[in-house]
Amino acid sequence: MVLLKADGRKSSEAASIVKVCEQTVNKWLKRYKKDGLQGLETKPGQGRTPILDIEEDAEVVRLTVKKHRQKLALAQVELERSLGKKFSNKTFRRFLRNCVVGISESENVPLVRKSKKSMTIR
């Protein structure tokens, strides 16, 4: 958007090309003029806070999935009760998909991908 505006295009043209509204183009341009490229970065705290957090909930999820490894629906119900959080089946499966990379042959325990803090659950 910023480059299109720098090319001399109108905000309405840039908006049409990148398929956003004209107001969005102008907001991005204003942020760029004020703070340069750093102004275009997503600020911390933007977006919805995750319902399930890897650092807070991973151990409980691991133990519950281990207990109900054949019935994830039962694991979800138990987790909702024990964590005091309501979440959809889709959210639960997304959390598992993003965190679990395999099953340990010896323990039948989900292994968690290494995150930014190199956390592995076994």
The answer on 103 and 74 residing in a single domain is yes
The more confidently predicted of residues 9 and 49 is 9
Over residues 58-75, mean pLDDT: 89
The answer to the question of residue 120 being in a domain is no
Q: State residue 10's pLDDT score.
A: 94
- The answer to whether 16 touches 10, Cβ cutoff 8 Å, is no
Q: Which domain holds residue 28?
A: 2-40
Say whether pLDDT at 116 is over 70.
no
The answer on 58 and 108 residing in a single domain is yes
DSSP 8-state symbol, 20: S
Q: State residue 100's pLDDT score.
A: 61
Domains in the chain, number: 2
Q: State residue 120's pLDDT score.
A: 44
Q: State residue 43's pLDDT score.
A: 75
The answer on 58 and 90 residing in a single domain is yes
Say whether pLDDT at 37 is over 80.
yes
> Can you tell me the distance from the alpha carbon of 98 to that of 80, in angstroms, rounded to the nearest whole number?
19
Alpha helices (H) along the chain: 2-6, 11-18, 22-35, 54-67, 72-83, 89-99
- The answer to whether 105 touches 91, Cβ cutoff 8 Å, is no
The answer on 62 and 35 residing in a single domain is no
Coil, helix or strand at residue 122? coil
Over residues 95-106, mean pLDDT: 61
| Confidence band of 102 (pLDDT split at 50, 70, 90) | very low
Q: What residues have CB less than 8 Å from 25, skipping those under 6 apart?
A: 1, 4, 5, 11, 14, 15, 18
CA distance readout (Å), 57 to 4, 35, 110: 44, 37, 14
- The answer to whether 62 touches 112, Cβ cutoff 8 Å, is yes
| Confidence band of 106 (pLDDT split at 50, 70, 90) | very low
